[in-house]
Structure 1
Amino acid sequence: MNTKKKVGFYTLGCKLNFSETSTIARSFKDEGFDRVDFNDPADIYVINTCSVTENADKRFKTVVKQAQKSNPEAFVVAVGCYAQLKPQELADVNGVDLVLGATEKFKITDYLNDLTKNDLGEIHSCEIEDADFYVGSYSIGDRTRAFLKVQDGCDYKCTYCTIPLARGISRSDELQNVISNAKEISSKGIKEIVLTGVNIGDYGKGEFGNKKHEHTFLELVEALDQVEGIERLRISSIEPNLLKNETIDVVSKSRAFVPHFHIPLQSGSNVILKAMRRRYMRELYVDRVIKIKEVMPHACIGVDVIVGFPGETEEHFLETYNFLNELDISYLHVFTYSERANTVAAELDNVVPKNIRTKRSKMLRGLSAKKRRAFYESQIGATRKVLFESENKAGYIHGFTDNYVKVKSPWNPELVNTLHDIELTKIDDDGLVRFDFVEVHSA
């Protein structure tokens, strides 16, 4: 008879959270637990929280209810950024038994001696200053792609952001350890590794607040490019002031790094960038885009942008809209500004009404669709390498080119986790590039 305890996991938020959930899940496996799908009955449910937006906070309660529906007697644990920032708020949610902060989450199994349901959630949360050590993580969610954490925390003081409060100071994994994790991922047959962190361009800062860089992000890129067996490497998101021309040049000549950059902008207005305490002006952003397109004309460039920041007038917003419209970028991730407790921005005057924030967000999402379509059209006629994924979605298999064009083909299980050179010939009605395989040949 199998008496193993079952545990299910749910991750809210970013790629970094996904990598850490996987690491926490492996610690459960080492302790003899069976991992099950979050929708299945389990003895323990672990919810890895996010607190970047108000919506992520609200979703937490929905996820707790989902866990209780599967098993009303299950022990529910909250970890992650929201758990560090507002532990009491989470502990007060009906059904939550345990809340663990930034340093405690990686020792989660130490807190599970008694799985009796609690009337009140128990909190074990550190002062964020104590989060000065590094825990390496990587996620293997499917057979195709893995998220590899190389850095954690942030020393920047952007006025809207709670991440430094939730994750502590900037610190990095040792270069040799990153290489070792990359080799381990590759040995499992996974074709693509996405480098992730809070501020990965700041890679190299040691533990315990050591501001000296043992290695640079450029050195990390160069070292990973030499690791045999890794088919593809992708940089998840990097600050424009930390994306150096040398790194762009290395990626352009790289064996494994793909021509895809995701570079946060946040605003196209220098007035708003200053109010946000970003570390660059829009002119530097233009320089980065020009440099990338100069050496990789086919590169995909994604942009993060925030609308409705306090003090953003209609003129500031149109400045951002026009700036992005004229820039040679490929798509946008649009965030509607939401007030976060204990941030400078939450105390600022000239609050933008929510209906105007929503309207501006809609305009930029429309621009994003237009930009993506134009980028896809620019790639028609090119032959690119596509990595196919493992899911059957309505009779189609999907994949991405190295430069992040989404491709679909009628479902064929033989294509799963394989790379193919494909000529991009037509865009389907849903905006994706369609390719009909006659015969399967791996690239």
Structure 2
Amino acid sequence: MKKIFIKTLGCKVNQCESEAIRNALVASDRGFAAVDEGRADVVIVNTCTVTRKAAMQSRQAVRQAIRANPGARIVVTGCHAQTAPAELAAIDGVDLVVGNRDKHLIPRQIYSHPPAQASDEAPALGADIADIGRFQSLPGIAHGNRTRPFLKIQDGCNAFCTYCIVPHARGRSRSLPMDQVLDQVEQLGRLGYREAVLTGIHIGCYGHDLTPAIRLVDLLERIREAGSIDRVRVSSIEPVELTDAIIGLAASGEDTMGRLCPHFHIPLQSGDDGILERMHRPYRAGFFKDLVQGIVGRLPNAAIGVDTLIGFPGETDQAFENTYALIRSLPVAYLHVFPFSAREGTPAFSFEGQVPAQVIKNRCARMRRLGAKKRREFYHGHVGKVVTVLVEAARDRTTGRLKGFSDNYIPVCFDGPDDLINTFQPVDIQRLSSDGVPVGIVHS
């Protein structure tokens, strides 16, 4: 058997694609066995390029793979492979570079090209992705060791925010046809999965490119009607695309098959209207505030996650304070805090008013402290309540307890036997551990 290892950097979409590639290779007749550690015969590095740091870490991961796997066939793919194929192809030891445009061909391409010689650059399949107009499905369905598998239903982005390189790495928005999504959800249900996470680069645009055009809420309604899986969760969704109709689906009864989880991850980026305009974000702080308050007014236990981008060019002390004050005032469950990194190839790279690195670092630290406070408050607000937890296969490493997530994304640890794994359990949250993790008992 030829051992294959896939190193994945970046977002849930990359993770989903890596799992699909791995599953396709293992299911092929070429004798592949997937490994999570140790030496491999084939190593695929699925890269990220969303920031300069991510691109640097991707290159580091490629070099580490080469050193750790002497003689292995090294394939580099992903967003950095799409935007900088020549740079990666020039790394001594890389055998093949495949951009996002051709990522779906990897299972066939691995041995289509001879290994690169020491003096040669690796072949790079990195054609322009801008003209791709149809969703390209990876072979196989992306399921692995996760209790809650990712299902990629959309790719690409049309927004072109001034700080973001992703549209150049992923191309225009395109969607997996609804019948294929429903078929894959049904397959996951038949495989025994109880929950699926629908993911994409700009998932709120799902269906706009299909003929006839449909909306994300149409798909979610069809998944609920099909009833082939217990519950679904949506990954990050833009504020202007989180409609009343979508929120309403999360208000369905907990026993409704195919129910949408009351958990929304909504990118804010900035709470200052001037910065939002410079970012080319299509909403203002007041809209975001009304949206979050409206969700929690309708779904009091909903988990609201928020992305913030700190230190964007022109972010004054007051602009940062506006963002801080907005988040502090809202019933937010957790924050993802990102420092701005000037990304070559984006308009913001050359914007005036670049914020000093130390100022960005200090602001991020302060925002992360606020995020930790918000998270603890959200968890503490559920002490004494019973939540329905989907029990994961892996136990908590520290305590050995079972663990899992509630529908509103609360991680809960509790004692119990292995036969509870991959079942829904009503858990009474009794306390928070010393490190802030909710701990409970199965409710009888």
Note the aligned Cα RMSD (angstroms): 1.8
Separation of aligned partners in 2, 1:369 and 1:99 = 40
Contact 1:39/1:67 (8 A) holds in 2: no
Query: 1:222 maps to which residue?
Result: 221
Q: How far apart, CA to CA, are the structure 1 residues paired with 2:65 and 2:172? A: 33
Determine if the alignment matches structure 1 residue 310 to structure 2 residue 310: no
Under a length normalisation based on structure 1, what TM-score does the superposition of the two structures give? 0.93
What residue is the counterpart of 1:109 in the other structure?
107
CA 1:359–1:143 in structure 2 vs 1: closer, same or farther (change >3 Å)?
closer
Question: Which residue of structure 2 aligns with residue 329 of structure 1?
Answer: 332
Q: Select 2:341's aligned residue among 335, 338, 341.
A: 338
Output aligned runs, 1:112-123, within 5 Å: 112-119=111-118, 120-123=121-124
Q: Which residue of 2 aligns with 1:238?
A: 237
Q: What code does the residue aligned with 2:245 have?
A: E
Cα offsets for 1:357-412 (capped at 9, x unmatched): 11111111100000011111111221110112122312233211111111112474
Partner SS, residue 90 of structure 1? helix
Q: Deviations over 1:329-349 (max 9, x none)?
A: 111011111111110000101
SS at 2:25 equivalent: helix
Partners of 2:131 and 2:244 lie apart in 1 by 35
- Residue in 1 that maps onto 2:5: 8
Q: 2:439 aligns with which of 431, 434, 438?
A: 434
Does the Cα contact within 8 Å between 1:199 and 1:238 map onto a contact in 2?
A: yes
Consecutive unaligned residues of structure 1, counting only runs of 5 or more, are none
Distance change >3 Å, CA 88–CA 411, structure 1 → 2: farther
Q: 1:27 — aligned with what?
A: 24
Residue 197 (structure 1) aligns with: 200
- Structure 2, unpaired ranges of 5+: none
2:97 — aligned with what?
99
Q: CA deviation at 1:43?
A: 1.7
- 1:64–1:95 contact (8 Å) kept in structure 2: no
Q: Deviations over 1:23-64 (max 9, x none)?
A: 222332324241322422222111111111223222223322
Q: For the residues of structure 2 that align with 1:101 and 1:41, how far apart are their CA atoms? A: 25
Q: TM-score, normalised on structure 2?
A: 0.93
Q: Quick one: which amino acid aligns to residue 93 of structure 2?
A: G
Structure 2 Cα separation of the partners of residues 161 and 93 of structure 1: 26
- Superposition pairs of residues 369-408 of structure 1, within 5 angstroms: 369-392=372-395, 393-394=397-398, 395-408=400-413
1:260, distance to aligned residue in structure 2 (A): 0.5
Identity among equivalent pairs (%):
37
1:164 aligns with 2:167: yes
The alignment status of 1:125 with 2:126, answered yes or no, reads yes
Counterpart-to-counterpart distance in 2, 1:99 and 1:396: 42
- The secondary structure found in structure 2 opposite 1:301 is strand
For 2:402 and 2:66, how far apart are their aligned partners in 1? Answer: 33
1:274 pairs with 272, 277, 288, which one?
A: 277
Change (3 A) 1:170 1:335: same
SS across alignment from 1:304: strand
Listed as ranges, the matches of 1:11-90 within 5 Å are 11-29=8-26, 30-90=28-88
Distance, in Å, in 1 between the alignment partners of 2:131 and 2:435 is: 48
Could you tell me whether the CA contact under 8 Å between 1:74 and 1:117 is conserved in 2?
A: no
CA distance in 2, matches of 1:132, 1:47: 26
